[in-house]
Each structure stands twice: as structure tokens, then as C-alpha cells.
Chain A
Amino acid sequence: MVQINLEQREITIKIVYYGPALSGKTTNLQSVHQILDPDVRGRLMVLDTSDDRTLFFDLMPVYFKTSSGFTVKIKLFTAPGQIMHNSTRRIVLQGADGVVFVADSQKSLSQANNDSWRGMAANLKLNGIDVDDVPMVIQFNKRDLPEIRSDSEIAEVAEKGKEPVFKAVAIRGEGVMETLDGILRLTWRTMNARFGLEEKLQIQEDAFIKHILKNSVMLSSQRTLQSRGDSQ
């Protein structure tokens, strides 16, 4: 749940990266951490085990101040993917304002993707959130591997579904910022509709995005999101 404190003039938004184990959620954050202007982001906190599997979560704060003096803080979390950490996943998903579902493009992991999605819907429900109500984008990561679902296949299913779909090779930083841009815009629109953020913060969507993405690698395109239309 977005935390808006009008008196202290600050707003905190929570974005969660979710998906099956090893799909690249932590890698996404690591890339974002490298690409973003150091002035707008804090340290990337990685709570993991000795063999680099996420234990509890990763957390990276992103922040800026609007010209009207509002502090905007966006906390990016990843939820651990391994099966036994379901309780942690549920806790991390609490109060999520937007979700990035990081799916593994490999065909052999389709079942893992689906199981993870269902688990996410269940966890959201336990937290009092309907999976259809929360801003959501889907990222097909690991486009560089063999035996993956083809681009045309993905384009086809993307048309049918309502979630914006992005492709990425997170380990190379490709597609990561596009995805972040996508979820930020979607989340902004939803929350603006619900809470009138534009009015309260005195900034518009583009300015919101620019504050965060300024001085970082230029986005290759915003085609995917705009083609979704503003039907959200």
C-alpha cells in the first residue's frame, strides 16, 4: 500500500520483482543499480546465502525530491524464488504497489513460471490484494539462452494478455530499464487514478520518470508500453 504522508511531504512506493528461482530478479536489480544515477539510488542490499541464492530479499531504494518539495521514495524489492521460502515471499509482497514478474524464457521452465505465478496470486490474495488489481508487467528474461520461447510466440501471447510484456537479458543490462520504466509508469497511472498523485505532488508522469531515469542509459524504446495503450 503506497505510503503517503502529506504532513512530512513524502510518499513511498513499493515495487516487487517476483518469479521462479534463478529467473534473474536479483540480476535485474544489480543492473538497475549500475545504470541509475548514484544520486537517485541507495545501496543495493542483497540478503543471500553463500551460494548466491536470495535468502530473504534484495532491496534498493530509489529517491528524489520534486520541485514542490515532495520526497518520493521507491523501494525495489526482489522476492526469493526457491520453493521453501514461500512465507518470505508473502511477507515481501505485502503492500506491493507494482509487480514485475520475471519469467525464465527457457521452454523447459514454463511449468516453473506458471507455478510461480499461481503462487504469487495466492500470496497476493492472502495479503488482501487481487492479482488483477495490482499494476503488473511481465519480463521474459534470458533471451540469450538456447531453447527459449520464440520472439513471435511471445509477441503473440503478449497481444492476448493485458500485462505489458518486456524481453530482457538482465545479466547484460538489456531490457532492464525498459521494464523498470514500464512498471513505474503503470504504477504511477494506477496510483494517480486512486490518490490523485499528480495533484498532490504537482508533477506529471513524464517528470516522475525523468527524475528517476535522468543521467542513466537512454531507453531503447518505449514502444511496448505505448502499444498497450492507456487503457489501464
Chain B
Amino acid sequence: MSRVSSPAEDASVLQRRFSLGELLDLDSFRDVCESFAGLFQIGFKIFDSSREMLVDMKGSGSEYCAYIFSQPQGKIQCTRGVGIIREAEVNVGQPIYHDCFSGLRYLIAPVTHEGESIGKIVFGPYLPAEPVENPLPALGEKFKADIAMRLRGKVRRVQDEVVRKVVRHLVQMIEVMLYVGYKNALTSRMHVESVTASYTELQTKNQALQDSYERLKELDRLKSNFLATVSHELRTPLTSVIGYSEMLLEGLAGPMSDEQTEYLHTIMEKGDQLLGIITSILDFSKIEMGNLRLNRSMVNMIEIARSAVTTLMPIARKAEVKIDFAGIQGVPSILADGDKIRQVLVNLIGNAVKFNHQGGTVTVKVEVCTRPSLEVQENLPAALARPEHEHVCISVADTGLGIPADKLERVFDSFYQVDGSSTREHGGTGLGLAITRSLVEAHAGKIEVQSGIDRGSTFTVLLPIVGES
């Protein structure tokens, strides 16, 4: 079969040709054929386009034909006749009659699908109504005329016109069954093809996602590496700056004049400031990247707070601000990263001192207080959720300028300064509160702020009371 263009191996069922046998449910089809044959008492055969016989129904002519076939001469002629029928080409709309040497007749009609022949039906044998004269074939002396006549008498006698009508009905019925079969075949195969195509698409997308994920992980790793390297590169020269300034101050290179001492203090101060900024930025980057790891142990917040206050005493004294500290009885130790909380408190107390009046006060209080539960009440009925919990509350209150109400929520934003000044003016990075909040939240805690213009601000750190698990 020569083709100018042939469908690809994986072409869809839509391009495929079906054979008659594929489109019919042969079992149920044969049942129908049997009842049809029984109705008309005439047999028929159905062939597909490759001349394969799919259906063979016996009718009233079978006994006569068998008798003829039993004769050697009859067998030869019969076989030849069957061959002719099998090879017969019928075109759409043009059924043909075939007369057998036995005196019986067949009608051969095409079965069509989508306008072309997909098989044929050979209806018969039947006894034609005309001609009236119909001699028996001469098949030798063993062929007894009386037996033959009797058997032939059993064959249904029909007019050609009637046969044509019957066959037309039969073909119509077959073609409807073909259509249904075709529709089913297409539907089910399309279904499979569609699902397969969708699945393949999903696989491809999954792979792309996986690749993307791997790339992102790699990028993360590079960023992490970058952070570590930057940290290192920035801190190493600072070591010398701070270290040598210190050595000079301690007189290791000889006595210093007052002026020299003053300058050195400035250098050291700025060196410290630089270090603070670097640490803040790196901390913040780590938090943003989710890289921060807490070093938890059982710590007492009163001690941590006291230590933070101690650190800031010198600065407070210089700013002529008083720090009051109160650690209330009964504060339990909790599981937390002491260093990080200390950092938080140093930041808050430092701010409280910085943004205070001369002669003002900073009050630091550590106690147990009750607040609405900080934890997420997932999968719990409202009735069971505990509305209030005990927390460790550390409050830092100042008597400074206060923060206007509309700016209150934004104080925790990174790089935000309430008065819109550049972060350098107050010696901060603008990151302090952002980091502070992240650190507190990393402990599953919360930070609150209350403020009034000219009445000062109170920052409160709430930490859940968690013991060792």
C-alpha cells in the first residue's frame, strides 16, 4: 500500500482506520444476526474489507447446499462459486446479484462507514421467484434428482425486490451499530490519549519545578556562603582598627596626650558603631533568609534584663538618664536563647535612653502577666481554646517624646525612623526594631508598643512560658 504521507507511529486514534470487526461488538452482533436469519429463514455471511468472514448465518438453503457439496462435481463448482463471491467488489449504492450454478441466488451489498465500503454482506442463498423454470444442475449419477428437488423445495422462495428491501434494512441496522461502535471506540481511546497527554505534560512541569527548586536551593546556598564571606571580610579589618586603637589608648606605644586620647576614643567608638551596623545587617539578612538559629536553654529573664541594664548604665549616665530596674518575684525560667533576648533588651533600653530627655527615666520591669493566647488555636473548638495565658513580660518604658499614633505600627519596619531623619543621626541602622521583633517572634513571642506624645513610650516583650520538653 503506497502512501504519499503516512501517519506517525504515535498518531492519534483520530487518524486511524478501523476494520469492521473492531467497530462491532461481534458477540451481540451475532445474536442479532441469528434472530434476523431466523426471521427470514434465509442465511447470510458478512465479510470485512480484507475478505475475512465475520458472520456466517445458516438458512433454509443449507441442506440443499450440503447435498450438492457432497458430490465431487458439486464441491468443485461450489468452491469456485464461493471464491467468486468472496472476491466480488461492491460499490456504494450498487448491490449485485450472483446466481449460483445450483439455481439459487445471492444478493451482495456493501456495508459503508464514513462514505466508503468497510465490508460486505452476502445475503442468501434464496430461491428466486423468477424464472419459474429452474433446472437442477447436472452433477453426475450419484446426484439424485428427487432428493435434490425435495431439498430445494425447502429453500425460501422470494422476489428480488423483497430481498433488496430486506437487505437494505439489514445494512441500515448494521451501519447504526457501526456508528455506535465507532463513537465508543473514539471516545474511550480519546479519553486515554487525553489523560496520557495531560500526564506527560504534568511530568514535564514537575520536572521543570524540580529543576527550579534545585536552582533555588543552590542560590540559597550561594547566598549563605556570601553572607559568611562578607561577614568575615568586614570584621577582619575592624579587628585591627579596634585592636590598635585600644593598644594606643592603653599606652602600649607610649604615653598619649589628652587630645590624642580623645581622638582615639572617637576612632574606637566609630569602630564599635561600624561593628554594630555590620552585625545588624548580617543578623537581619540571616533572619530574612530564615537562617537564624536559636540557641535555647533555660534562662532567667530577670538576670538577662539586669545584664542588659548594666551594659547600658555607662551610656545612660552620660545622657543623664536614670534607669530603674524591677524584677518581680515569681518569674520562672523559660526556654529561650538568652543572648538573643539580651540583644533585644539592649536594643529597647538603648532606644529608651537615646530618645529620652535629659534627666528622664527608663523603667525596666520583668514580671509574669496574663495576655490573650499567642498560640494559634488550630483544629480546636472555640469552647476548648484558652483565651488567656501567662507570659513573661518585660517592659521598657521611657519618659521621652513619644511616638505619634499613626506611626506606631510602622516603628518595627526595617529602616524606618519616626522623625524621618536619616538613620545615622541617632547612631542606628534603622534595623534595630525590625531585628528585635523578628527575634522575639522567633521565640513565638510578641512585642507591643504603647505611646503618647510627650508622655513617652512603653515597649513590652511577651514571651511564652515554655519549659524543657
Contacts and interface: CB of A to CB of B under 8 A. Distances in A.
Is the pairing of A and B real?
Answer: yes
Interface of A: 1-8, 10, 14, 40, 42-43, 45, 47, 56-57, 59, 61, 63-64, 71, 73, 75, 77, 85-88, 90-92, 94-95, 195
Nearest to A87: B197
B116 A71 contact: yes
A45 B197 contact: no
Interface stretch (B5-13, B28-36, B82-90, B96-104): B5-13
B1 A3 contact: no
A-B pairs with lowest CB-CB distance, top 7: A63-B115, A87-B197, A4-B4, A61-B114, A56-B190, A87-B198, A88-B194
A174 to B, nearest CB: 27
B114 A4 contact: no
A82 B12 CA distance: 20
B3 A4 contact: yes
Interface stretch (B55-63, B179-187, B294-302): B179-187
A195 B4 CA distance: 9
Contacts, number: 87
23 contacts: A2-B5, A3-B3, A3-B5, A3-B6, A4-B5, A5-B1, A10-B116, A45-B179, A45-B186, A47-B186, A47-B190, A59-B14, A61-B114, A63-B114, A86-B201, A87-B193, A87-B194, A87-B198, A88-B190, A88-B194, A94-B12, A95-B11, A195-B4
Interface residues of B, number: 27
Contacts of B14: 57, 59, 77, 91-92, 94
Nearest to A72: B115
Contacts of A4: 3-5
A2 to B, nearest CB: 6
Given A7-B2, A91-B14, A45 B183 contact: yes
B276 to A, nearest CB: 54
A204 B439 CA distance: 83
B191 interface: yes
A122 B6 CA distance: 23
A43 B175 CA distance: 11
B257 interface: no
Interface string B431-468: 00000000000000000000000000000000000000
B15 interface: yes
Given A3-B6, A6-B2, A87-B198, 4 more contacts: A4-B5, A64-B115, A75-B114, A91-B193
Contacts of B2: 5-7
For B11, B12, B187, the residue with the greatest tally of chain A CB atoms inside 10 Å of its CB is B12
